[in-house]
Structure 1
Amino acid sequence: MKPLRLLVTYTAKSGQRDAFLRAVLQSGVPETIRQEDGCLRYDYFLSAERPDEILLIEEWASAEQQQTHLRQPHMQQLKQQKAQYIAETDVQTL
């Protein structure tokens, strides 16, 4: 199986980047995701040049495991947080 690497760029609603990260980290969702079968990497990075931008790097052992990840209950919680704080999401597959 070939690993799947994703670059997910979030553009937060104006001034909401830190609030989004705080909500996500306090929810424990990233740690839960990192424990999922097949998760090799799940890390957030902040842009020094764009104050509303967040880069998420995800790496999964397989595309199938990433698809299973999307169906997990905690992803519904993340979806709600994104709706509150995120204006745009761009996903690139490497």
Structure 2
Amino acid sequence: MSLYVIATIHCTPAGLATVRAAMHDMVPASRQESGCLRYDLLESAHDPHVLTVFEAYASDAALEAHRTSAHYQTYRTRVADSLAEPVKVELLYAVDAAG
């Protein structure tokens, strides 16, 4: 069963460039993971300091592999001081999804 993740990242004004740089590395590395079906970085239309990551994984195990990957751990370290609040993560299972 596919697992979807919506992660909302609130950056400090001073930390926005740091988070964007970290995500610049994170996106392609995540897309190459076995079991990663989708990994999209989005910016709020109303607040450029709010980024959202839309992710899809083939299984819970694929998500766990993502969370334990070296690039994910590096990302977390890089952005730790650049966040205005903890990242909000919502996990969802598909009920009726295209593709």
Q: In the aligned structure 1, how far is the partner of 2:29 from the partner of 2:78? A: 16
Q: In the aligned structure 2, how far is the partner of 1:19 from the partner of 1:70? A: 20
Q: In the aligned structure 2, how far is the partner of 1:73 from the partner of 1:23? A: 13
Q: Deviations over 1:52-74 (max 9, x none)?
A: 10010010000111001111111
The percentage of aligned residue pairs carrying the same residue is 29
2:76 is aligned with 1:85? no
Look up the match of 1:66.
63
Q: In the aligned structure 2, how far is the partner of 1:44 from the partner of 1:56? A: 5
Look up the match of 1:13.
12
2:2 is aligned with 1:3? yes
Structure 2 portions without partners, runs of 5+: 93-99
TM-score, length basis structure 1: 0.85
Structure 1 portions without partners, runs of 5+: none
Q: 1:43·1:56 contact (CA, 8 Å) conserved in 2?
A: yes
Deviation for aligned residue 1:91: 0.8
Q: 1:36 aligns with which of 25, 33, 36?
A: 33
Deviation for aligned residue 1:19: 3.6
TM-score, length basis structure 2: 0.82
Call closer, same or farther: CA 1:79–1:65 in 2, change over 3 Å. Answer: same
Deviation for aligned residue 1:15: 4.3
Q: Which has the higher strand share?
A: 1
How many residue pairs get aligned? The number is 91
4+ long deviations beyond 6 Å? none
Q: 1:24·1:30 contact (CA, 8 Å) conserved in 2?
A: yes
**CA root-mean-square deviation:** 1.5
